[in-house]
Structure 1
Amino acid sequence: MKLSVIFCTYNREKYLYNALKSVAEQNFPHQDYEIVMVNNNSTDSTENICRQFQEDYPQVEFHYFLETSQGLSYARNRGVKESSGDIFVFVDDDATVFEHYLSCIAHFFKSHPDASACGGPIVPVYEIEKPKWLSLYTEQLLGGALYEGDKDKPFRNGKYPGGGNSAFRKEVFEKYGLFNVELGRKGTGLIGAEEKDLYDRLTRGNEVFYYLPQMGIHHYIPAKKLSESHFKELTYSIGKSERIRTKAVSSKAYRSRILSECKKWLGSVVLFFIYTIKLTPSKGWKLLQFRWNVTRGLLGK
């Protein structure tokens, strides 16, 4: 079984080398994996960093491609098409992987022939002090934080792996198609939901995907991602992404998502009062801002 570790990158020169290094220095046979790097029109020193990595780690099978169609989904689809492995592993370009990352994935797929995909913990690493308004829920939003315990288990109740830390059998893309290019980041834009769209297709196909506690990444969060402007744009884009995604499925799916948003509002209001009682009202207020912006994006306001 061969793994294809796919990095899709856009102007992440600060983090890229360490991301690649964390994979190359795994205690895992080099002949059992390849790294597929897709540069999505970066304007920084990404290409030079990749050349340096090739010189520093000649034992690693490394393939570099330039994808000129702008968008993360275009880049991920290019990675799928260029990969030769049996398992496709997507890792964010601003993350480093846990120590036994590759061996964990390989062992899992060998021992779980029923599984189509898996993912693991995402641990945010903040480059500045965490703001007081940051809560469990907004941390999931801004840092992609994900933790489901210390045991292997299937994802349940609509949960699924984070897009920047996920692995799929090759057959998944042959059976269910590629990432939706109408969704996903494009340049500095913050449209998303391409992972949710794919996992929804897998769910409708009765596929099983698992959480693996050893399959973790450290995700680096710069100050910019904690700014008010980023928060506003990201939360609005979540709603807009959901509008695009569900309308592409059916008008019924869109109406169902609006109903779900109403339920989320109820939960957010309850949490606002809980945080206020606990004398941390800024956390609750931020959740209401989050919900308001998502709703506006969902309704196209």
Structure 2
Amino acid sequence: MRTERFEVRHVDLAAADIGSDREPALSVFWWKDLPLGARASLKDELPYGTSQLRQLAAEYAAAQLQARSIGLGAPLRATYEGRPKPALSLEAALEAQNLVGALDAIATPSSASAQDISVVICTRDRGPALRKCLTSLAAQRSAPGEVVIIDNSQAGNARDICRQFPDFRYVHEPHAGLSRARNTGVQISRFDIIAFTDDDVEAHPGWTTEIARAFAERDVEAFTGLVLPARLDTAAQCSFQFTMGGFGSTFVPLTFDRRFFEETRPSGAHVWKIGAGANMAFRRSVFERVGLFDERLGAGAAGCSEDSELWYRLLAAGGVCLYEPRAVVFHHHRSDWPGLKRQIKAYMKGHVAALVTQYDNFGDRGNMVRIGKQLPIYFAKTFVKALFEGPPGRLGILAAEVEGWLAGLQFLPRFGWRMRRPPMGNAATAEKGISR
């Protein structure tokens, strides 16, 4: 998509309010509270006609029926590529169900109580973004049992903002590192389900109650949800969303289990496809069984991938993770090129560090294959494609990826670093700096 700005439009197909804008747009289609899919369109493709919207509604309805109707093959397991495997054709879905009635039934908002959920937000020097995040959490249809803000700045800079939300708990964790902050949140939180989001995110009003529904209805230990862009106002934001894939674009639920783990293990189990740390939740028993977040990984340490490394341990231990896009958050992507390139470099550096860690923990050679073979092949193919086809800025992002890969290689000879292990979840901890 060669444009520097897209309007993010939310279209409720049940209300038939299609609008008439002709600006480039990422249209996110809903059926009431159920997200169905998204489509990017340029000026000459807008506005959508009635027949186009009917066809889209039929296609999205078929996908939802495949994924959510037990009699039609649900639930879907993730495939090798981390994508849903179709259970039936569009024609079969159209014949099997009254689509409007079926979508109305599927789109019923959750009535589950979120009182058994602790929401943990880790923040570091992002005051305006944090205020928006906390405002969205205060507006949840079902209030969580608690909201805990872990301030990971040295000076406790989030304290004044958190005072504006007296029902939330504030905790100062001055030791830098996202994994360290998240572990603090796990250890001081009170409830059985621990949900995480980021300070540059705004949660949909139904976020917590959809998490509660998922854990009540499915026998899973971990959960991820849909992360949509909040805005696409700059070229950097559009590049992250469209060129790099954003945080994924799957709108049907998937289960990631031991079968997925074993199928992808020879090439480094593709646990990064499970979801994003900006929208994830765990039963407390996960941390007691497989340990806490690895404090060598994540922002403030190796870069990122502390979430996917924990999913790796969980799947290796026979656990199951559910991706359920009913639970939606809106992420504010980096708005400038330097910020985006720093982010991409950190992502790749952290990814390599996590692969090294996974190899050390489990001896899976697929992790080394990904570092030494698959990633260089990806870089070469991307370079050739970007050189001849673009899009603009892709070579700069690729350079940041290669820099991150090279930075990640430094962890291979660091044997002292490699011998460390993540802390266990049942370790006793003292409460730190809590104010209400």
TM-score (norm 2): 0.58
Distance 1:15 1:224, change over 3 A: same
Q: Which segment is superposed worse, 122-131 or 172-181? A: 122-131
Tell me the secondary structure at the aligned position of residue 68 of structure 1. Answer: coil
Residue 253 of structure 2 corresponds to residue 152 of structure 1: yes
**Structure 1 vs Structure 2 CA RMSD:** 2.9
Distance in 2 between residues matched to 1:232 and 1:198, nearest whole Å? 21
Identical aligned residues as a percent? 26
Specify the alignment match of 2:327 in structure 1.
215
Distance 1:286 1:259, change over 3 A: farther
Matches within 5 A, 1:39-78: 39-43=151-155, 45-54=157-166, 60=167, 62-78=168-184
Tell me the secondary structure at the aligned position of residue 354 of structure 2. Answer: helix
Paired letter, 1:269: A
Among 193, 203, 206, the alignment partner of 1:100 is 206
The structure showing larger relative contact order (alpha-carbon pairs under 8 Å, at least 6 residues apart) is 1
Distance 1:106 1:52, change over 3 A: same
Residue 382 of structure 2 corresponds to residue 263 of structure 1: no
Residue 357 of structure 2 corresponds to residue 241 of structure 1: no
Distance 1:68 1:285, change over 3 A: closer
Q: Give, in angstroms, the shift of residue 295 of structure 1.
A: 3.1
Specify the alignment match of 1:9 in structure 2.
123
Specify the alignment match of 2:234 in structure 1.
129
Distance in 2 between residues matched to 1:232 and 1:90, nearest whole Å? 21
Residues 58-82 of structure 1 deviation map (CA, whole Å, 9 limit, x = unaligned): xx4x221111322111111111111
Q: Give, in angstroms, the shift of residue 120 of structure 1.
A: 1.3
Distance in 1 between residues matched to 2:316 and 2:175, nearest whole Å? 29
Distance in 2 between residues matched to 1:69 and 1:227, nearest whole Å? 23
Give ranges in structure 2 of 5+ residues lacking alignment.
1-114, 265-269, 412-436
Among 278, 283, 289, the alignment partner of 2:399 is 289
Aligned residues: 283
TM-score (norm 1): 0.81
Among 294, 306, 315, the alignment partner of 1:180 is 294
Distance 1:229 1:145, change over 3 A: closer
Q: Give, in angstroms, the shift of residue 137 of structure 1.
A: 7.3
Paired letter, 2:217: S
Residues 206-238 of structure 1 deviation map (CA, whole Å, 9 limit, x = unaligned): 111111112121111343564476257425633
Tell me the secondary structure at the aligned position of residue 164 of structure 2. Answer: helix
Distance in 2 between residues matched to 1:44 and 1:210, nearest whole Å? 35
Distance 1:298 1:176, change over 3 A: same
Tell me the secondary structure at the aligned position of residue 41 of structure 1. Answer: coil
Paired letter, 2:290: Y
Distance 1:2 1:244, change over 3 A: same
Distance in 1 between residues matched to 2:298 and 2:240, nearest whole Å? 25
Q: Give, in angstroms, the shift of residue 138 of structure 1.
A: 5.3
Tell me the secondary structure at the aligned position of residue 178 of structure 1. Answer: coil
Residue 126 of structure 2 corresponds to residue 24 of structure 1: no
Residue 306 of structure 2 corresponds to residue 194 of structure 1: yes
Distance 1:197 1:243, change over 3 A: closer
Distance in 1 between residues matched to 2:242 and 2:370, nearest whole Å? 17
> In 2, are the aligned partners of 1:36 and 1:63 still within 8 Å (CA)?
yes
Specify the alignment match of 2:223 in structure 1.
118
Give ranges in structure 1 of 5+ residues lacking alignment.
55-59
Distance in 1 between residues matched to 2:359 and 2:198, nearest whole Å? 28
